[in-house]
Structure 1
Amino acid sequence: MSKQLNKSLTVSPFFLFFLIHSTQTGVGLLNFQSKIIKGAEQDAWVSIVLVGISLHLIIWLLYFLLKKSNNGDIMSLHQQLFGRWIGNVLNIFFYGYMLLIVSTIIRSYLSVLVTWVFPYTPIWFLSLTMIFVISYLVVGGFRVITGICFWGMLVPSLLLFTVYFPLKYAYWTNLLPVFNHSLSDYFVSAKESILMYSGPEFLLIYFPFIKNNQISQKWAHISQAYTTILYLLVTIISFVYFSHGQLEHVTWPTLMMSKIIRFPFIERFEYIFIFLWLLVILPPCCMALWGAIRVLKESFKFKPRRSLWMSIIIVHLIVINVNSKIEVEEIGDFLKYITSSFLYIYLPILFMFYLILQNFKKAKSGKINP
C-alpha cells in the first residue's frame, strides 16, 4: 500500500489533469509534424491516436506498480523489488533520465530563441537565465510546480483559438487517400510521436503528493485523452495547411503557421507565440528537475539544496556543450529512444518481475500447492 503524505503537502486529484497534460506539451508541439510525416505521411494522424491510446495502458501500469510500492514512488519500488544496492543503482539511472529531459527541453527551446529572436546572444547566458527561473520555481516545492502546470495547460489551450487563421488556407484533399500505408509506416510515425507524449512517467515520483491517490486514476486518463485530442487537432490542421513536401522541409511548422496571424495592434504574432511558449516548457522542466532532486533525497538522503546545485550544474554543462542543430537533433533522438524503452519495455518488465516475485513468495510460503 503506497504512502500518503501530509495534506499540507498534497494537491487534490483534480490537479492530475494539469500535471499530466502540461508535462506532455513542450517544445515538441512546435515541430513534431515534420517528423511524424516521414512514416505514414498524410495518415500519420492514425499513429497519433494509437500512441495516445497506448498511453492509457501505460497509465494503468503506472498505477498498478505505484499502489504496490511501499512509499508510492519508483525509488522505494526499486529497493523493494531489487534490494537496496541494485535499487539505488536503478534510481541513479532514473535520476539521469530526469536531467536528460530538462537538458533536452531547454536546449531545444534555446534553438528556437536563437533562430527567431536572439541570434547573437550566447547559449550559456540564455541557459543560465532559464535555469535560474526553473530553479526558483523548484525551490517553491510541488504545490508551486502544480500552479505552473495549470498555466502550462491554459496557454496552449487558449492558443487553439488561433487555428482559425491557417484553416482559411486549408486544403482538405491533403488528407487523402486515407489508410493506404503499411503497418511499418504507421510504426515509424508512432515511434516519432512517442517523445511528445512523455510526461505520465513523472507520476512515479509525485504520486504520494496526490490526495486520495488510490482513486485518482480517472483524472490521469482524462488528461491523457485531452492531450491526444490536442495533438490530433494540431496534426490535422498542419496537414491541411502544409503540403507533404513542405512539411518535410519546415523545421517548426507550428511557428510557421503562427506567422500568418495578423492583428491591427500586433504585427509579428510569432514573437508573442515564442515567448508565451516559455510557460509551456516550464512545467516539464520544473517537474523533471524537482523529480531528480527527490530521487537523490529518497535514495541517498541528499539535502535538497545540495542536490539542486549539483543537478543544475550538470544540466548547464550538457546544454552549453550541445552546439549545432545536428547535435540538438541527436540529443532529442537519444531522449526519444530512452523514453520509448522506459515506457514500453522497462515498465512492462518491472510489472512482470513484480508478478513473478509475488508468485514466488506465495509458493515459498506454501499458499500455492505444488
Structure 2
Amino acid sequence: MKTNIRLNPDKSVQAFYLFFIIHTSQIGAGLMGVPRILALEAGVDAWISVLIAGVYLHFIAYVMLSILKSYDNADILGIQCDLFGKWVGKTLGLVYVLYIFQLLLTVLKNYIEVVQVFVFPEMPIWLMALFLISLMVYSIVGGFRVVVGTSVIFFFLTIWLAFTIYKPITYMDLEHFLPVMQTSPWDVLKGAQQVTFSVLGLEILLFVYPYIQNKKEAALPVHLGVFFTTFLIMLVTVVSIGYFSPDQLKQTVWATLSLFKIISFSVLERFDFIAVALWMMVIIPNLVLFGWMIVHSLKRLFNFSEKPSLYTLAVLLFIISVIIEERIGLNELTNWTGRIGFWIVFIYPLFIYMVIILKKLLKKGQTS
C-alpha cells in the first residue's frame, strides 16, 4: 500500500468544506443526551467540562494537522504503514475499521430508539434501519463529492433548529448554576471525558485530508468546525442546566430533545415530533461519512472493490442493528464506543505525533 494518495482534481474538494465535514461528523446522536451525562459527572459545573473538552479538541485537531502535514498527501492508513511497517500498519488500520463500524452502529441504534420512544413506539427496528441504511448507501455510491455535499446540504437544512431553543431560555433559572465550582476538579475532568462520545468524528480528518486541494488553508475550517461543535454542546448544556432542576436533568435521558416539548406554534402543537423527525437530517451525514470511511479504508488496506464492500457493510449493519433490541445492550454498545473512541481519537494521535518526531530526529542524526 502506497503511503501517499494521488487523486484527480475532480475527486477532491476545497479546504473550506472541512468545516462541514468536521462539524457534521461530530454532531449527531451524542448531542441528544450529552447534558444528562455531564450532569451525572460534573453536576451544575458541567459547562466547565465542556470548556475543557473544547480546548482539548482544538489541541488534538492541531496535532492531527501536524501529523498530516508531515507527509505529502497521506491518510492515517498510509502513515501507520510508513511508521510501523506493512503488517503492523494494516493491523492498526483494521482496528480503525472495526471502531468506525462500532461508531456507525451506535449512531444508527441510538436514533432508532429515539424515534421509537418519542414518535412511533410500535415501529419495527428493521424498517427504520432499512430506510436509514438505504440513504447511506445511495449517498456513498455517488462518490466522495456527493458525501461532502450531503454534509453541506443537511447542515443548512438543520442549523435553524438551534434558534428554536429560545423558548427554553426564557424559562431558565440562573440559581441552578450556583454555587459555582462546587464540583471537585476530578469530577469536572471526568465530565470533560464524557463529552468525547458527543464529539467522536474528528478522526475523519485523518482520512479526508488527501482529498483536500488547498491543504495550506485547511487549519482554519477545521478549527472553526471544532469551535462550532463546542458552541452547540455548550448551548444545550447551559440551557438544560438552567431549565431542568438538578434531579430532573439527571433523570432526563434525552435532555436536548426534551427541550423541544415546550415549543409550540399556532399551527403546530407538538414541535418535539417534528424535531425528532428533522434530527434524521443530523444523523444521515454521520452515517454517510462513517460509512465512506469504512469503504475507503477497506480499499486502501486490502484493495477491496468499493461497491461490494459498501453492500456488505450495509447488510452487516442491518443484521446487527436488528439483533440488538434491548436497551441494556444499546447502553453497553454506547459506553464501549465512548471508551474506545476516547483512546483512538484523543490519545492515539499524540503517540503517532511523537513517533513522527522521533523518526525525524533519528533521520537527522544519521544524516549528520
TM-score normalized with structure 1 length:
0.95
2:169 matches 1:167:
yes
Q: Which residue of 2 aligns with 1:5?
A: 7
Residue 162 of structure 1: how far off its partner (Å):
1.0
Q: Which residue of 1 aligns with 2:154?
A: 152
C-alpha distance in 2, partners of 1:206/1:287?
A: 10
Q: Which residue of 2 aligns with 1:285?
A: 287
Determine if contact 1:24/1:199 at 8 Å carries over to the other structure.
yes
User: Match of 1:330, as an amino acid?
Assistant: E
**Per-residue CA distance 1:253-281 (angstroms, 9 max, x = gap):** 11211111111111211111011111101
| Alignment CA distance shift 1:40-1:229 (3 Å) | same
User: Match of 1:97, as an amino acid?
Assistant: Y
Larger CA deviation: 112-121 vs 73-82 = 112-121
User: Match of 2:214, as an amino acid?
Assistant: N
Q: Which residue of 1 aligns with 2:322?
A: 320
Q: Which residue of 2 aligns with 1:19?
A: 21
C-alpha distance in 2, partners of 1:131/1:324?
A: 20
**Per-residue CA distance 1:194-235 (angstroms, 9 max, x = gap):** 111122210111111112123311110111111111211111
Residue 70 of structure 1: how far off its partner (Å):
5.3
C-alpha distance in 2, partners of 1:345/1:167?
A: 36
Q: Which residue of 2 aligns with 1:311?
A: 313
Choose which of 233, 245, 248 in structure 2 pairs with 1:246: 248
Q: Which residue of 2 aligns with 1:348?
A: 350
Q: Which residue of 1 aligns with 2:138?
A: 136
2:27 matches 1:55:
no
**SS of the residue 2:262 aligns to:** coil
Q: Which residue of 1 aligns with 2:212?
A: 210
User: Match of 1:303, as an amino acid?
Assistant: S
Summarize the alignment of residues 290-305 of structure 1 with structure 2, pairs less than 5 Å apart.
290-305=292-307
Determine if contact 2:4/2:78 at 8 Å carries over to the other structure.
no
Q: Which residue of 1 aligns with 2:100?
A: 98
Residue 180 of structure 1: how far off its partner (Å):
2.0
Residue 17 of structure 1: how far off its partner (Å):
1.1
Q: Which runs of 4+ in 1 moved over 4 A?
A: 1-4
Choose which of 24, 41, 44 in structure 1 pairs with 2:43: 41
C-alpha distance in 2, partners of 1:189/1:25?
A: 18
User: Match of 1:18, as an amino acid?
Assistant: F
C-alpha distance in 2, partners of 1:205/1:366?
A: 32
**Per-residue CA distance 1:61-101 (angstroms, 9 max, x = gap):** 11111122454201111111111111111111111111111
Q: Which residue of 2 aligns with 1:256?
A: 258
Q: Which residue of 2 aligns with 1:237?
A: 239
Residue 125 of structure 1: how far off its partner (Å):
2.1
C-alpha distance in 2, partners of 1:295/1:3?
A: 12
Determine if contact 1:2/1:68 at 8 Å carries over to the other structure.
no
Determine if contact 2:97/2:297 at 8 Å carries over to the other structure.
yes
Determine if contact 1:296/1:302 at 8 Å carries over to the other structure.
yes
Percent of residue pairs identical: 32
Determine if contact 2:158/2:281 at 8 Å carries over to the other structure.
no
Q: Which residue of 2 aligns with 1:183?
A: 185
**SS of the residue 1:16 aligns to:** helix
**SS of the residue 2:85 aligns to:** helix
Determine if contact 2:73/2:209 at 8 Å carries over to the other structure.
no
| Alignment CA distance shift 1:301-1:134 (3 Å) | same
User: Match of 1:227, as an amino acid?
Assistant: T
Determine if contact 1:88/1:299 at 8 Å carries over to the other structure.
yes
**Per-residue CA distance 1:327-354 (angstroms, 9 max, x = gap):** 1111111110011001232111111122
| Alignment CA distance shift 1:156-1:192 (3 Å) | farther
User: Match of 1:200, as an amino acid?
Assistant: L
Q: Which residue of 2 aligns with 1:225?
A: 227
Larger CA deviation: 242-251 vs 122-131 = 122-131
**Per-residue CA distance 1:120-165 (angstroms, 9 max, x = gap):** 2221222122111111111111111212211332244201221121
C-alpha distance in 2, partners of 1:170/1:346?
A: 40
**Per-residue CA distance 1:273-308 (angstroms, 9 max, x = gap):** 011111101111111110100001111111001111
Alpha carbon RMSD of aligned pairs, Å?
A: 1.5
Structure 1 unaligned spans of 5+: none
User: Match of 2:265, as an amino acid?
Assistant: F
Structure 2 unaligned spans of 5+: none
C-alpha distance in 2, partners of 1:135/1:6?
A: 23
TM-score normalized with structure 2 length:
0.96
Q: Which residue of 2 aligns with 1:332?
A: 334
